[in-house]
Structure 1
Amino acid sequence: MNTPEIHARHEAEIGALPSTVYELVTNVSLWPVIFRPTVHTQVLERSVEGDRFEIWATVSSGEVNTWRSRREFDAVGRRVTFRQDHDNPLFGLMGGGWTCAPLDGGRTKVVLEHRFTPPPDQADARERIVRELDSNGAAELEALRTVSVLPGGVDMWRLTFTESVGLTGSAEAAREFIWDADRWPERLPHVTGLELVEQKGGAQDMTMQTRAPDGTVHTTRSVRVLLSDGSIVYKQTRPPRALLGHSGRWDFRSDGSGSSISSTHTFLLDPAGVAEVFGPDVPAQQASHRVRAALSANSRVTMEHADLYSAAAGANR
């Protein structure tokens, strides 16, 4: 007996043009700093007609799930249709679409639709999936409502930057240092406390306290994933007050010219948070410089200590 297909629909009115909302939906590289559930995305194929990508995202339990989706773009109709490549253990076989329809006054009606066939061996799958879609769908629409009306556009408030440090030892040892974050309080001067929870499937849920140069201590929470290429990606699920979103990536290179570690950050400023943290007269560019300086300082210290660890590991072999 075939399991019947189930449909879910979520919609919202957003105070931005359909073209603006459509761009946010189609550009999956932005999703980790826009959508609360999205930890990381990796585009596998892309053209003007559509794309195919892999996504890592959290569910209500906090665990990270991953799947691959294929999408088709209708730029004229401002519609995106999607379908997963394979059955998903949590959601079964799923597809759906986004529609960005124009309203009066330069507003947009956004409709997010899902259709899914629950896993046949899970009796409670329908109710569980509907709850997940309700939670994530509401969060994604609320994020679009916030990000699409950022003054001056999303690019004014978003920044990506990468820094690298050459390694004395091996890239493998540096990766070990970064992944073993539960030992950071004893290894890194700016980390005052850290709680690490290993999830099924290998992802990490990390709550960390760090001390800023002015002596204040900040608590952040992140989810981290070790990818098949050896890089480590993460998403702050509890970002600092000045940010709407923050994601990052650690990369480790080793070739004939030597070894290195790189840190990439992408963050999206929150205008209200910027005014609260830095003052109401601080412009986006100045706030971005301040956030970058703080993130860069911590990353550089971490990479320098990873280098020391890699050198010591090499000397002990």
Structure 2
Amino acid sequence: MTAAEINAHHETEIEAPPSTVYELITNVALWPVIFRPTVHTRVLERSAEGDRFEIWATVSNGEVNTWRSRRAFDAAARRVSFRQDHDNPLFGLMGGGWTCAPLDGDRTRVVLEHRFNPPPDQADARDRIARELDHNGAQELEALRTVAALPGGVEPWLLTFDETIELAGSAKAAREFVWDAGRWPERLPHVNDLELIEKPGGVQDMTMGTRAPDGAVHTTRSIRVMLSDGSIVYKQTQPPKVLLGHSGRWEFRSDRSGASISSTHTFLLDPAGVAEVYGPDVTAHEAASRVRAALSANSRVTMEHASLYSASIGAAR
């Protein structure tokens, strides 16, 4: 350890075996629906020995920070070590590791360690970084404790699905429609109200009231990010009561045969929320079908209106 290096240590006990916890930690694609700070991840490389990925995550002031990390997997020891590819403007140069140690009764002690060199030009960096790590570390360990202990494992409560429609106009115009969410209340029949805050770096903070078929209005809050490839990713920071997590992606494609828009959803059900909203006898499969139907209906309406908008823009030009 260098003189400037600082260590941070967090740990918890989880009512699940080490193999279950280790799998959740190594499967970074699921982090947006498991960990509250994680908005989006993109796997760049992956093998049995480790991976390299890009992550977008919120910090305590609500801003979205992004960085790339490399990880090494030790499946026998149930340990994952990580280090960032480059200095992060918020944290400096950071590395660390996760360890999943077995306990009696098929339980696990999870240890999360960080080591970092604060940015040299920031006098308050040490205390600020320590606060951020305490904030995010506590949230991540609490999420692991909840998700690893889901009845029957994660799989019954998790679903990913996608849908695609052909566009009547250009992919560019459809992207404009989806990104300009501030006008959705006047453009989309299921959107009752919407508050949109634009942030630096192609980030939006969106609070939306959605009208259900029975007339009830459900409020959700999401962070959305415009990626360099033109796709729009989002994560609900305030999901409906039946969900532990929900993330998604809008993609826009164009080639010689035409243009299309795709919507992808990944959600993780909350057993307690499912029992409260749908009733104690509703199974995970039935609850997932209901949530999928509701999300699909709203996505298809949005895509259809984006298609009509793209056609009108093309005709106007």
Give the TM-score normalised by the residue count of structure 2.
Answer: 0.99
Q: CA deviation at 1:166?
A: 0.6
User: What is the letter of the counterpart of residue 157 of structure 2?
Assistant: W
Equivalent in the alignment of 1:89? 89
CA distance in 2, matches of 1:260, 1:202: 22
Q: CA deviation at 1:62?
A: 0.9
Q: Determine if contact 1:3/1:117 at 8 Å carries over to the other structure.
A: no
Q: CA deviation at 1:298?
A: 0.3
1:105 partner SS: coil
Q: Determine if contact 1:275/1:281 at 8 Å carries over to the other structure.
A: yes
CA distance in 1, matches of 2:57, 2:90: 12
CA distance in 1, matches of 2:216, 2:192: 11
User: What is the letter of the counterpart of residue 136 of structure 1?
Assistant: N
Equivalent in the alignment of 2:118? 118
Q: CA deviation at 1:276?
A: 0.4
Q: CA deviation at 1:233?
A: 0.2
Equivalent in the alignment of 1:213? 213
Q: CA deviation at 1:146?
A: 0.4
CA distance in 2, matches of 1:294, 1:14: 33
Equivalent in the alignment of 1:178? 178
Q: CA deviation at 1:79?
A: 0.2
1:126 partner SS: helix
Equivalent in the alignment of 1:278? 278
1:59 matched to 2:59: yes
1:161 matched to 2:161: yes
Q: Determine if contact 1:3/1:118 at 8 Å carries over to the other structure.
A: no
Q: CA deviation at 1:144?
A: 0.5
Q: Deviations over 1:112-154 (max 9, x none)?
A: 0000000111111111111110010000000000000111111
Q: CA deviation at 1:202?
A: 1.9
CA distance in 1, matches of 2:77, 2:6: 25
Equivalent in the alignment of 2:49? 49
Q: CA deviation at 1:165?
A: 1.0
1:115 partner SS: strand
Q: How many residue pairs are counted as aligned between the two chains?
A: 316
CA distance in 2, matches of 1:206, 1:123: 33
CA distance in 1, matches of 2:315, 2:201: 33
Equivalent in the alignment of 1:79? 79
CA distance in 1, matches of 2:131, 2:97: 18
CA distance in 1, matches of 2:134, 2:76: 28
CA distance in 1, matches of 2:15, 2:278: 27
Equivalent in the alignment of 2:252? 252
Identity %: 80
User: What is the letter of the counterpart of residue 134 of structure 2?
Assistant: D
CA distance in 2, matches of 1:174, 1:269: 30
Equivalent in the alignment of 1:265? 265
Q: Deviations over 1:12-66 (max 9, x none)?
A: 0001000000000000001000000000000000000000000000000111100
Q: CA deviation at 1:200?
A: 1.8
Q: Which runs of 5+ in 2 are unaligned?
A: none
Equivalent in the alignment of 1:144? 144
Q: Determine if contact 1:245/1:267 at 8 Å carries over to the other structure.
A: yes
Q: CA deviation at 1:3?
A: 6.6
CA distance in 1, matches of 2:67, 2:110: 24
User: What is the letter of the counterpart of residue 145 of structure 2?
Assistant: R
Equivalent in the alignment of 2:237? 237
Q: Deviations over 1:145-170 (max 9, x none)?
A: 00001111111100000011110100
Equivalent in the alignment of 1:304? 304
User: What is the letter of the counterpart of residue 95 of structure 1?
Assistant: G
Q: Deviations over 1:77-121 (max 9, x none)?
A: 000000000000000000000000001111000000000000111
Computed over aligned residues only, the root mean square deviation of the Cα atoms, in angstroms, reads: 0.7
Give the TM-score normalised by the residue count of structure 1.
Answer: 0.99
CA distance in 1, matches of 2:149, 2:14: 8
1:22 matched to 2:49: no
Equivalent in the alignment of 1:31? 31
Q: Determine if contact 1:3/1:120 at 8 Å carries over to the other structure.
A: no
CA distance in 2, matches of 1:296, 1:265: 9
1:133 matched to 2:146: no
Q: CA deviation at 1:199?
A: 1.1
CA distance in 1, matches of 2:82, 2:192: 44
CA distance in 2, matches of 1:306, 1:59: 32
User: What is the letter of the counterpart of residue 121 of structure 1?
Assistant: D
Q: CA deviation at 1:256?
A: 1.2
User: What is the letter of the counterpart of residue 271 of structure 1?
Assistant: P
Equivalent in the alignment of 2:10? 10
2:105 partner SS: helix
User: What is the letter of the counterpart of residue 15 of structure 1?
Assistant: E
Q: Which runs of 5+ in 1 are unaligned?
A: none
CA distance in 2, matches of 1:258, 1:141: 46
